[in-house]
Structure 1
């Protein structure tokens, strides 16, 4: 068992992608002056064989690109936690629209629309042998992912790869939006606290965050890249803390 004290952890490696934002320098500049990413950019994902890459929509490519950059080739047994509020909802909406028109449902499209499909494609493409999870928790999917990762570390995993990704819902669902939306994906490889790295924790809170102008999952990345010491979640009030 690995000791996790007060839910503290360090981020051993990170990667992120959004339209117009790819390098670490891009992201640090963005965190200093955050804005909602806009554009049609998608990562090349050249690491993945073309036959498998063609099965992915834009959101899946983004999630797998940041995951690939954070996971060493030698870490085949690294546990994975993929987290998204909506998942690949555009694919699901396309299938529902077809069903409403009386069209037959494609088993392939259905299989690729499930919430764990993007994680599964990554696991297959890289020949991974570790545990993987796919979680969703309304706007607090990032919090749910880190809670799962900390549990895996406490159970003996030396590190866990966390991948958080999301995109806008189709226009037909616009009236249900409760936060700004944009395409983005980020990954952290986290482990127990390390003396040479900043230490973070996720703790119970007693208040909720004010609107930030960003999707909450993206605001968590902004907090990580900033010098701020606290960030509250928008519903539960759970608090991210930077300790050093």
Structure 2
């Protein structure tokens, strides 16, 4: 069993119709899929020319990450998304299928590390940044990356996990994004939380909501433990008393 310890100093989350702490506390008590799925987060803190280049995935990441990074310099970033810019890549593939010319800008913004590149440019941030796509337990792999950065002396690490609702054409293959969402965690060294990994062939019941949102329910609720299974790995998040 592997164990890492850390503190969650601050958090932020966004989904359509869910922005404030009160919104999320209400959702955690009675989770339902938002109905206004076309909504986009407010990123008016960015200049209009910069906002124009951002997809909704990038806007979600910026909306939760920017306030957490406020006033902090040299803040490493771990960005996690299993599916990435599926709407952009679908548009590119559609143009290819129709023998249309491809947009270099669209392509450059569709790659998985485009968000951290934009983040670095817009914030003038040169700290270490990582973009991960680690299948069903990407959040936990991101936590391992963040823990390594903390152990190397980073005073804090920003972790952002976000998923965009994929185009309908992908619905037969992507069933783990019921609605667009983003969760940002400002992590520091400490012992408030513990994440452990065990190999257990016994599968846990499949959860209805994305794991990052189930973790948020644990964070805002009275539970002290949250478990997540992927393949033969079982991750246990434990809030220490």
TM-score by length of 1: 0.91
What is the distance in 1 between the residues matched to 2:19 and 2:127? 27
Judge conservation of contact 2:15–2:181 (CA < 8 Å) in 1.
yes
Partner of 1:91: 88
- Which stretches of structure 1, 4 residues or more, deviate above 4 A after TM superposition? none
- Residue number among 207, 214, 220 corresponding to 2:209 in the alignment: 214
* 2:239 equivalent to 1:242: yes
Partner of 2:221: 226
Give the C-alpha shift of residue 80 in structure 1.
0.3
- Residue number among 164, 172, 175 corresponding to 1:167 in the alignment: 164
What is the distance in 1 between the residues matched to 2:178 and 2:82? 11
- Residue number among 36, 52, 55 corresponding to 1:54 in the alignment: 52
Partner of 2:197: 204
Q: How many residues align?
A: 235
**1:104-143 alignment, distance < 5 Å:** 104-143=101-140
What is the distance in 1 between the residues matched to 2:35 and 2:205? 22
Describe the SS at the equivalent of 1:96. helix
Judge conservation of contact 1:49–1:125 (CA < 8 Å) in 2.
no
Partner of 2:176: 179
Describe the SS at the equivalent of 1:141. helix
Describe the SS at the equivalent of 1:113. coil
Deviates more, 1:217-226 or 1:152-161: 217-226
Cα shift readout 1:120-179 (whole Å, capped 9, x = no counterpart): 112211111211110011121211111110011111111100001002221111111343
For structure 1, the 5+ residue unaligned runs are: none
What is the distance in 2 between the residues matched to 1:9 and 1:57? 31
Judge conservation of contact 2:183–2:212 (CA < 8 Å) in 1.
no
> Which structure carries more strand by proportion?
2
Judge conservation of contact 2:43–2:59 (CA < 8 Å) in 1.
yes
What is the distance in 1 between the residues matched to 2:175 and 2:16? 22
What is the distance in 2 between the residues matched to 1:133 and 1:139? 18
For structure 2, the 5+ residue unaligned runs are: none
What is the distance in 2 between the residues matched to 1:119 and 1:224? 26
Give the C-alpha shift of residue 221 in structure 1.
2.1
Give the C-alpha shift of residue 180 in structure 1.
4.7
Alignment RMSD:
1.7
TM-score by length of 2: 0.92
Partner of 1:63: 61
What is the distance in 2 between the residues matched to 1:184 and 1:202? 22
What is the distance in 2 between the residues matched to 1:51 and 1:11? 33
Give the C-alpha shift of residue 57 in structure 1.
1.3
